[in-house]
Amino acid sequence: MTSPQFPAPGSTDIALSVRTHDRVGERRTDTAWLEETWADPASRIVPVAGNRFPVDEAGGTVRWQGAAELPDQGLRLFLGMRGEVAHFALVVEEPTDDGPWAAFRSVLATLPEPDAGFMVHAVALAEWHASHRFCPRCGSPLVSTAAGHVLRCAENDHQQFPRTDPAVIMMVTDGERALLGRQAAWPEGRYSTLAGFVDPGESLEEAVIREVAEETGVHVTDVAYFGNQPWPFPQSLMVGFFARATSTDILVDGEEIQDARWFTRAEMKEQAEAGTLVLPGGISISRSLVEAWYGGPLPGSW
């Protein structure tokens, strides 16, 4: 197998993949420390209702609060430390004040680090708690432990851990062209890299090969790791790859993919500038893959 000439892993910044805080896992079971730290006025807490949380008037930063400003009810999640400051989330049913609140998706592209990293952690945990309320073995209620990072069955003591669904996302090329696809529900002109979830018992590289073949009929080899991105909608880990096509005829599945096309760099640039090709937003690893292959920034995004 030859080595594809793609950017080396870690050579391209990928949004949401920056280490913003020390998760301090050993503190998650220290009940006395958690209680004391929660009440510390220096600690920062963000309430989360569904996937919404308080933001400033411009929607650009999280409105972190202290325990004295928040209700006593709610599920406490310890996120970790940034420097000497502890950060928590409080899962609540409704917004806790009359200030502006925003859904994660609506502000994801503008949230700065470290806010974005904290909110990926907080929203992913909140989504997990919302969807995992009962023991899968016996149906008994699950009880939150380890500062929100473990659920324990009240009846049989069986533990549940936060779920992460691995998905592969790939830039397929044949040397001078890149393969992009679109779903039927997307607006006209919107194209993206191919992606799909990993099957049980399947390696990441096998998933890349299978997904590309299933969705477009194109066969690939030389699957090369690019980077990864946590994607809490609701609980995915997007693992990015490049892959070299060994066939170029396209036969879309008509279900997940409505259309797929090969683009040269010149075609991609020309159509993106004209607005007839709309590429993924800059916050997504898909955009990072596209621009890493293209060799620089491209205009326009979702």
Tens digit of pLDDT for each residue in 34-79?
999 999 999 999 999 988 999 998 878 999 999 999 999 999 999 9
Question: pLDDT, tens digit, for every residue of 82-110?
Answer: 999 999 999 999 999 999 999 988 898 88
How far is 289 from 228, CA to CA, in rounded Å? 11
How far is 88 from 79, CA to CA, in rounded Å? 5
Query: For the ranges 6-15, 133-142, 187-196, 249-258, which has the lowest average pLDDT?
Result: 6-15
Residue 7 has pLDDT above 90, yes or no: no
Contact 271, 178 (CB under 8 A): no
User: How many Cα atoms are found within 13 Å in the side-chain-facing hemisphere of 202?
Assistant: 17
CA-nearest of 74, 70, 58, 63 to 106 is 58
Mean pLDDT of all residues belonging to the chain? 93
Backbone angle region of 295, left / alpha / beta, with phi > 0 → left and psi within -120 to 50 → alpha:
left
pLDDT at 58: 82
pLDDT at 4: 52
What dihedral do alpha carbons 17, 22, 28, 34 form, nearest 10°?
Answer: -130
Residue 1 has pLDDT above 60, yes or no: no
H/E stretch holding 34 reads helix 31-39
pTM over 0.85: yes
